[in-house]
Structure 1
Amino acid sequence: MKVLLALMMAATSGFALATETAEAADAQSQPALEHYSYSSKLDIARVIDQTPIPAVCAVVPRQMTYEDHQGHRHTVEYLVMGNGCTP
């Protein structure tokens, strides 16, 4: 009985370790969030993703993930006017 319990614990801890390793790899692949300013120099070779602009009448943050000419990924956050304003 003790052997069976030990085997079950070992199998569970191995699964937990594999999950933690996968989460760590995902965290490393996500680029750090940079905040855009007018003095920022962006080297955009290819836009990968952009967050949608909400339907509100206000200035809202938007994020863009892009790849530079060296193949490095960046995520930049900048402000845009929402799409919910009607004249």
Structure 2
Amino acid sequence: MRLMSALIATCISLASLPSYALSGDSLAQESIEKHQIAIQAYADKKDKPMPEIIEYKYGMKLDVVKVVRQTPDTKSCQVIPRLMTYENSAGELMTVQYMALSECRNKH
């Protein structure tokens, strides 16, 4: 039952992503999906609600006490959506989505 609720929560969370994240690079999308599944497991373990994804805006103040997880770099040499989930000073889980240039692979 807990796994089913985690999968449902993950699907709902992914539905709230901005459209550019859903239509972008498949590696980035896969990374985001794995991130959300891992965060759902973390939230369940810590008995905390699954955080909504908030889109980062330049200059936004973040109250980061502990970084829980960041999506890994896809090394696809393009601007991709990434997620960072953290705990704030009140102990709440927060997830912020931002755009970042991934590392480029050396093709030689």
TM-score interval (norm. to shorter) = 0.5 to 0.7
Residue 51 of structure 1 aligns with which residue? Answer: 71
Aligned partner letter, 2:96 = V
Structure 1 stretches (4+) deviating beyond 3 angstroms?
none
Aligned partner letter, 1:23 = S
Structure whose alpha-carbon radius of gyration is higher:
1
- Higher relative strand content: 1
1:75 aligns with 2:95: yes
Provide the TM-score with structure 2 as the length reference: 0.54
How far apart, CA to CA, are the structure 1 residues paired with 2:94 and 2:88?
8
> Following superposition of structure 1 onto structure 2, how do residues 3-82 of structure 1 map, counting pairs within 5 Å?
19=1, 23=5, 27=9, 29-82=49-102
Provide the TM-score with structure 1 as the length reference: 0.65
For structure 2, which runs of at least 5 residues remain unmatched after alignment?
Answer: 10-47
How far apart, CA to CA, are the structure 1 residues paired with 2:68 and 2:94?
10
How far apart, CA to CA, are the structure 2 residues paired with 1:82 and 1:70?
31
* Identity across the alignment (%): 36
SS of 2:100's equivalent in the other structure is strand
What is the CA-CA distance between 1:66 and the residue it aligns to? 0.1
RMSD of aligned Cα (Å):
2.3
What is the CA-CA distance between 1:39 and the residue it aligns to? 2.9
For structure 1, which runs of at least 5 residues remain unmatched after alignment?
Answer: 1-18
What is the CA-CA distance between 1:41 and the residue it aligns to? 1.1
SS of 1:79's equivalent in the other structure is strand
